[in-house]
Amino acid sequence: MPLIKIYTWNYCPYCVRAKRFFEEKGWTYEEVNLDGKDDEMQKLIEKTHHRTVPQIFIGEVFIGGYTDMMEKERSGELAKIVENQ
């Protein structure tokens, strides 16, 4: 199983949904909470060009946010990414 990393903020409903999705799948993940860490958030924005959270990585692949992840889940692409990482 590849490393799943999710960047979050406190009180983010989409972050909660993403973490629940991983838990329901039985996938372990590493959470990086960015509350009060403006420098780290800025670096992440520069890397991904996304200004919102959650920001989800599976291995080295940037998945996007919760909605992006669920679109990939519905299309079957998410399972392929997990298999290939």
Give 36: exposed, middle or buried? Use CB within 10 Å, 0-12, 13-18, 19+.
exposed
pLDDT of 85 higher than 90? no
Q: Which domain does 36 fall in, by range?
A: 4-84
Q: What is the mean pLDDT of residues 64-78?
A: 97
pLDDT digits (tens, 9 = 90+) for 13-51: 999 999 999 999 999 999 999 999 999 999 999 999 999
pLDDT at 18: 98
**Could you tell me which residues come within 8 angstroms of residue 56 by beta carbon, excluding any fewer than 6 positions away?**
4, 5, 6, 7, 18, 62, 63, 64, 65, 66, 68, 69
Q: How many domains does the chain have?
A: 1
Check residue 26 and give its pLDDT.
Answer: 94
Q: What is the CATH number of the domain that holds 47?
A: 3.40.30.10
Inter-residue contact 72 to 21 (CB < 8 Å) = no
